[in-house]
Amino acid sequence: MASVSFCTVVSFLFCMVYVDAGQKCHGSPRMYKGKRCASTTFYHDGRKGACGCGPDHTDKQFWWNRNSFVTAPNQHLFDSGGKTWCGGVCGKCFRLTTTGGWINGQGEEVPEGQSYVFMATNLCPNKWPNLAWCSQSWQNGYKNKYGYGAHFDLEDGAGQIAAIGWKGKNPEVTWEWSDCYWPHKHDRRTPNDGMYSQCYCSRHPGGEKK
């Protein structure tokens, strides 16, 4: 990335191509093979998250919310109305598929075509330290710093993101809505609707306080 600052006017276009070389998604919104694209990162904070997927009256996670394929989407995707508790996508599933691309300086290559289904159980809020990834809003054209309209922060509480080879590589992915039931039958790491029914926001979708 440092080479960008030394670009001459003559070589400016070449340098811009170099900076974008790891990303396969292009356009506005960014797309790849006809599907919407997103950036990814990983996290673990041990808490039940913005969808309330832990026992009532404590901030601890259910075991499956720690061990499974769950995600914290960016604020605009989590709830376009700005809710930070019991957002509209709580309990919904997304199929994420690697493009083979990555953001230069922020990750590295993961082979194209790896596909897993994740359930939304948490929020990546539009505030520090998430502003580079999760700040999609009308002020910036609903794109984050890297040009993506969606971002998925992936729970790695039991090393599940490391196990699939994505941890720290932050792969570029395409995303689409998915059923949760059938993916769970094929890969138990994807939570099903029965698991989500344990969450506070499943029982109180309006986000009423306890």
Per the residue annotation, which of 56, 79, 153, 193 is the catalytic one? 153
The first and second tokens of residue 153, run together, are: 């922060």
The first and second tokens of residue 142, run together, are: 């609903």
79 annotated active-site = no
Do the strands 151-155 and 35-43 form a parallel or antiparallel pair, or are they unpaired?
A: parallel
Count of CB atoms within 10 A of residue 10's CB?
A: 7
Per the residue annotation, which of 20, 45, 56, 79 is the catalytic one? 45
Q: Decide: helix, strand or coil at residue 154.
A: strand
**Residue 192 · residue 184 · CB < 8 Å:** yes
C-alpha to C-alpha distance for 177 and 202, rounded to whole angstroms: 19
In 7-114 the beta strands, taken as DSSP E runs, fall at 31-32, 35-43, 70-73, 93-98
The 8 Å CB, 24+ separation contacts for 130-135 are: 130/74, 133/39, 133/41, 133/74, 134/74, 134/75, 135/74, 135/75
- Backbone phi, then psi, for 167, in 5-degree steps? -60, 125
59 annotated active-site = no
Please list the active-site residues: 45, 153
